[in-house]
Structure 1
């Protein structure tokens, strides 16, 4: 890792937290190309025809209204990225929906919503695409985490033989909506709320923590995962933390990146129960349990 103007801390401190690399989009105005590439790869991997995709979800965790439009630029607010993505993917028949404002929890929420829609009937599959690129020269340290730009996508299918959704549980504390002003309170609340969200999802699934083969993490600092593992009474070795150093923490793509790498490295066995957990500003603590 090299020191950058986009981080405040020393290389030694970031390394101690578990980070070695961060990824920055060099051309932010071409970020949609990453979204298209991720979506195309997910559709190809699923083997689904475009006609099977009834709904397209596009999630962004960054606040799209953080800056006011320039004078006379109100119409620009109606240039919807999800419509552009549907056009680029040739999904004009799909219902295109954009989701936002759940921070790092958003993609897991989108997957849960897509699963309910698919199970309710209609089209047999939905496509969830997510990604964020921080503004140029933005500070990439957020609450002791090194942030990376990334895009990811998954196809949610009715009756899928792999990565079946077993349970979803989310705890919300909207009183923490003002993250900059309540940062210290969020840090204090993080661990007990994380423990509650994880244990509730496990109980809802009719499982015990010992039944979970892997915790698939958001790539936040390794130190925080060590503390959470102690609270849960599980060995750190059951947290697949290999990408914390290599990738850093993306806003909402960590779980998809990690699952893909776990599959490629042969870490997954059919029948394994996997627990995906993340915290999102806003604030929400979210757990999704899958059976591989």
Structure 2
């Protein structure tokens, strides 16, 4: 049984109002007004250090890792982008070694873009189960730097941010245990930001329905109904897209945790985990609560995962 032993989140103290990014992102005053008023975006985080610094700051907040380093079998970096630093730097190896986890197997997954974080949790859970050691652990690292213009924004949708989350995964039933996972890739949109106008329009038309499909599939695999969910922890691209999903599913919008959208913007694969950690710190989850993480990766993969707290 895949379980979350602990989730840590790190939000750098450096914040930039999105209004100050209009020239950098090539947004007109009218477009920026849409970002603020309709998308609910206000500021983004920036990490002054390197990607390794960002990931280490997050992993360093995992209390459950201290004293259990020898149990970690895998260290996995879940990336939105295949290339996140110049060659030959390798952040996942640097973080592994700095944490004293040199014995662990380290690799990255990028296949689902911003949904790669959920893919990584599912993958390491299966690896741990096949290893047969009930005390073994895996560390999943999420979060990236906005080091290029393409990494700074999803045009017409989101402003991207530099924050991170670290997820310690185990196989114990008494932790936050995974009940169901669903992912679907709509491969005809593989060109991401280079889609033709026709395909881009089609993607916008199918987006809400495709997201609803995987949410319902994950809930169904968990043997639950939507009404059984205490909370949905989404990615933070914008508020409008989740309002549309809430209407499609007939869910109260307050059941979707959107508090971080104006504070962080979109933090690549880290969003659902950051939102989970924030809600936990606010006391919004109680033992026995079922909750769902949901996200979408360009390319385009829709993904949802259900847990019991």
TM-score, shorter chain, exceeding 0.5: yes
Partner of 2:183, secondary structure, is strand
Q: Is the 8 A contact 2:47 2:54 kept in 1?
A: no
Residue 115 of structure 1, aligned match among 121, 125, 129: 125
SS in 2 for 1:96: strand
1:14 to 22, 35, 46: 35
SS at match of 1:98: strand
TM-superposed CA distance for 1:31, in Å, is 2.1
Q: Residue 227 of structure 2: SS of its match in structure 1?
A: helix
Match 1:126 to one of 138, 149, 171? 138
How far apart, CA to CA, are the structure 2 residues paired with 1:219 and 1:48? 33
Alignment map for 1:211-290 (pairs within 5 Å): 211-290=228-307
Change (3 A) 1:46 1:90: closer
Task: Compare 7-16 and 225-234 and name the one that shifted more.
Answer: 7-16
Structure 1 vs Structure 2 CA RMSD: 2.0
Q: Name the counterpart of 1:190.
A: 207
Structure 1 partner of 2:182 = 169
C-alpha distance after superposition, 1:72-100 (max 9, x if no partner): xxxx45x4332222211111111112111
Helix, strand or coil: the match of 2:61? Answer: helix
Contact 1:216 1:275 in 2 (8 A): yes
1:146 is aligned to 2:159: yes
Greater Cα shift, 199-208 or 16-25: 16-25
Partner SS for 2:83: coil
Distance 1:189 1:22 in 2: 28
Q: Structure 1, residues 24-73: CA drift from partner, whole Å, max 9, x if none?
A: 3344xx2211111212222x2455510011111112211319x9x9xxxx
What's the offset of the Cα at 1:220? 1.9
The residue number in structure 1 matching 2:100 is 90
The 1:193–1:243 alpha-carbon spacing in structure 2 relative to 1, beyond 3 Å, is same
- Match status 1:53 vs 2:69: no
* Unaligned 5+ runs, structure 2: 1-16
Specify which of 156, 169, 173 is matched with residue 156 of structure 1: 169
Deviation at 1:160, TM superposition (A): 4.9
Match of 1:31 in 2: 51
How many Å separate the matches in 1 of 2:92 and 2:187? 26
- Deviation string 1:237-258 (CA, Å, 9 cap, x unpaired) is 1111111111111111011111
Q: Verify the 8 A CA contact 1:101 1:282 in the aligned structure 2.
A: no
CA distance in 1, matches of 2:190, 2:46: 27
Count of aligned pairs: 280
Mean Cα deviation higher: 228-237 or 137-146:
137-146
User: Take 2:112 and 2:262, find their aligned partners in 1: how far apart are those partners?
Assistant: 24
- Residue 225 of structure 1 deviates from its aligned partner by 0.7
Query: Given that residues 243 and 253 in structure 2 are in contact (C-alpha distance below 8 angstroms), is that contact kept between their aligned partners in structure 1?
Result: yes
Q: Structure 2 length as normaliser, TM-score?
A: 0.84
Match of 2:217? 200
Shift of 1:131: 1.7
Residue 137 of structure 1, CA deviation: 5.3
- Please, which runs of 5 or more residues in structure 1 have no aligned partner? 70-75
TM-score (norm 1): 0.89
Q: Secondary structure at the match of 2:182?
A: strand
